[in-house]
Structure 1
């Protein structure tokens, strides 16, 4: 139990001590996309497609894991019910 507490405290203190500042460029990307659309370029569509792609991947992975877990659980529960 002491080892788990030590690892937890070490992890928390390490994550507090390591302070990486992120340079957010959302405003720059927004201005770039707006200007490209005004000039007739289609870069804004590509940017939006990339954002949707990055948004969809975690949901698909988690949904796939949920389906696999459900099928495995269902297989176990139906196997025992058939033997009774």
Structure 2
């Protein structure tokens, strides 16, 4: 029990430090937008549809993964409820 408390406290401290300390980051989407705008102003006819499709693809993957986990979790919960109702009905 003491080991669980220490692990939980350590996880809390790490999460607190990560949320409080500022980290330098680079906004890649902003950089992509600036690059596309600069390239589209040139006369070479830069096509941005490929980049836009790539951004949409990368944006949808987390939603699909979370939705799949939610679906399987819901289905498992419903199956457990049916099993519980079936065993309670026999008694």
2:86 alignment counterpart: 82
Structure 2: gaps of 5 or more residues: none
When the two chains are superposed, the root-mean-square deviation of aligned CA atoms in Å is 2.4
Does 1 or 2 have the higher relative contact order (CA < 8 Å, sep 6+)?
Answer: 1
Q: How far apart, CA to CA, are the structure 1 residues paired with 2:56 and 2:36?
A: 15
TM-score normalised per structure 2: 0.65
Structure 1: gaps of 5 or more residues: none
2:46 alignment counterpart: 41
**SS at structure 1 position matched to 2:46:** coil
Provide, for residues 20-61 of structure 1, a one-character-per-residue CA deviation record: whole Å limited to 9, x for no partner. 3123351x422321243444222x111111111111011000
Q: How far apart, CA to CA, are the structure 2 residues paired with 1:45 and 1:57?
A: 19
